[in-house]
């Protein structure tokens, strides 16, 4: 029969390794987190690249956004009345 202190010591080590394994992904992801630099044309969200747009909002609630994707420009506009329009122009 094993002494109880040996069983407790092994159990403590195993519990510590399990806790470290549970926390390790959060620690690794925290090191990668940060703002995307301003001079990049995209943002990283959920590990994927999302094109960054330039949005101009007006005091009346309307806005206009331009997103560049290669040689194409997508323009999204929303009027103050809630009318949404999206156009795409490629050169």
Tens-digit pLDDT profile for residues 30-64? 655 567 677 777 778 888 888 778 889 999 999 99
Query: What are the residues whose beta carbons fall under 8 Å from the beta carbon of 90, sequence distance 6 or more?
Result: 71, 72, 73
State the pTM of this model: 0.48
Domain ranges of the chain: 1-33, 37-91
Give the Å distances, CA to CA, from 79 to 48, 63, 65, 87: 30, 7, 12, 14
C-beta of residue 42 within 8 angstroms of C-beta of residue 49: yes
């Amino acid at each position: 029969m094993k002494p109880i202190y040996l069983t407790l010591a092994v159990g403590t080590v195993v519990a510590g390794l399990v806790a470290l394994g549970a926390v390790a992904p959060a620690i690794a992801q925290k090191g990668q987190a940060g703002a995307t630099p301003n001079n990049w044309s995209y943002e990283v969200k959920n590990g994927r690249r999302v094109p960054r747009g330039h949005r101009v909002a007006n005091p009346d609630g309307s806005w206009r956004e331009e997103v560049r994707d290669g040689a194409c420009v997508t323009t999204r506009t929303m009027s103050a009345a809630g009318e949404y329009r999206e156009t795409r122009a490629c050169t």
